[in-house]
Chain A
Amino acid sequence: AQKVTQAQTEISVVEKEDVTLDCVYETRDTTYYLFWYKQPPSGELVFLIRRNSFDEQNEISGRYSWNFQKSTSSFNFTITASQVVDSAVYFCALRGPGGYNKLIFGAGTRLAVHP
């Protein structure tokens, strides 16, 4: 069975702090895809990143970085120098192989960045 666990329910930081959101996944597939989405209060899920299981390179995009480690089945997300606009719920999601794109989401981590 496939499963995504985001153990951190809520995180509160002060602006300019670095924060890491954890994501642990379970799957028996050798080919799979991992995603991070951001959900601001408006409700729309905003795509942040997609990572293939055969590409373990870490990625950096501005203040965002992602650390993918197959050995520990983790796909963690770090925000450097957090800003108030980063306040949102962040979801990690898993998708298996094949032509079907069902996403399995974690429960989400609510990030509050205070000025």
Chain B
Amino acid sequence: DAGVTQSPTHLIKTRGQQVTLRCSPKSGHDTVSWYQQALGQGPQFIFQYYEEEERQRGNFPDRFSGHQFPNYSSELNVNALLLGDSALYLCASHWGGLGETQYFGPGTRLLVL
């Protein structure tokens, strides 16, 4: 049973560039959430996708956008990168029911220079 996978594992970009991160949910899961974890902090919720639509969004600017595909995989796009976007980006998946546990992938470490 494959867990949540993310790619790439590491990424280095420069300010102003755009980046796309990818996530494949755990088998049987239909909902994907993205979190940003700055160094030394807890993860912060970016948004959640269910049935290919953004279901909920955290306090992040429109530079952060996403997409969910029919196979439930998801992408996180960040435009006009800022130094402050440097973080670990975590993807979590679960089945869309109430109270379900979110399972996390290994994350993508993004460094913006």
Chain A residues proximal to chain B, CB less than 8 Å: 4, 33, 35, 37, 42-47, 50, 52, 91, 93, 95, 97-108
Docked-complex contact A52 and B99, CB < 8 angstroms? yes
Docked-complex contact A45 and B48, CB < 8 angstroms? no
Docked-complex contact A102 and B33, CB < 8 angstroms? yes
- With A43-B106, A47-B103 known to touch, is A99 a contact of B42 (CB < 8 Å)? no
Docked-complex contact A91 and B56, CB < 8 angstroms? no
Docked-complex contact B45 and A37, CB < 8 angstroms? no
- Among the 9-residue stretches B15-23, B62-70, B77-85, B88-96, the one with 4 or more Cβ atoms under 8 Å from chain A is B88-96
Chain B residues proximal to chain A, CB less than 8 Å: 31, 33, 35, 40-45, 48, 55-56, 58, 88, 90, 92, 94, 96, 98-107, 109
- With A42-B106, A43-B106, A102-B58 known to touch, is A50 a contact of B42 (CB < 8 Å)? no
Docked-complex contact B42 and A44, CB < 8 angstroms? no
Docked-complex contact A107 and B42, CB < 8 angstroms? yes
Complexed CA–CA distance, A44 and B92 (Å): 10
When C-beta atoms are compared, the residue in chain B nearest to A4 turns out to be B42
Please indicate the chain A residues that have their CB under 8 angstroms from the CB of B99 in the complex.
33, 50, 52, 95, 101
Please indicate the chain B residues that have their CB under 8 angstroms from the CB of A104 in the complex.
45
Complexed CA–CA distance, A33 and B41 (Å): 21
Complexed CA–CA distance, A47 and B41 (Å): 18
Question: Which 6 A/B pairs are nearest by Cβ-Cβ distance?
Answer: A105-B42, A45-B104, A44-B106, A43-B107, A100-B56, A102-B45
Name the distance in Å between A35's Cβ and chain B's nearest Cβ. Answer: 7
Please indicate the chain B residues that have their CB under 8 angstroms from the CB of A44 in the complex.
104-107
Docked-complex contact B104 and A107, CB < 8 angstroms? no
Q: What are 10 sample pairs from A and B whose C-beta atoms fall under 8 A apart?
A: A43-B90, A45-B43, A47-B102, A50-B99, A99-B96, A101-B31, A102-B48, A103-B43, A103-B45, A106-B42
- With A100-B48, A105-B43, A107-B41 known to touch, is A47 a contact of B98 (CB < 8 Å)? no
Please indicate the chain B residues that have their CB under 8 angstroms from the CB of A4 in the complex.
42
Docked-complex contact B102 and A103, CB < 8 angstroms? yes
Please indicate the chain A residues that have their CB under 8 angstroms from the CB of B42 in the complex.
4, 91, 93, 105-108
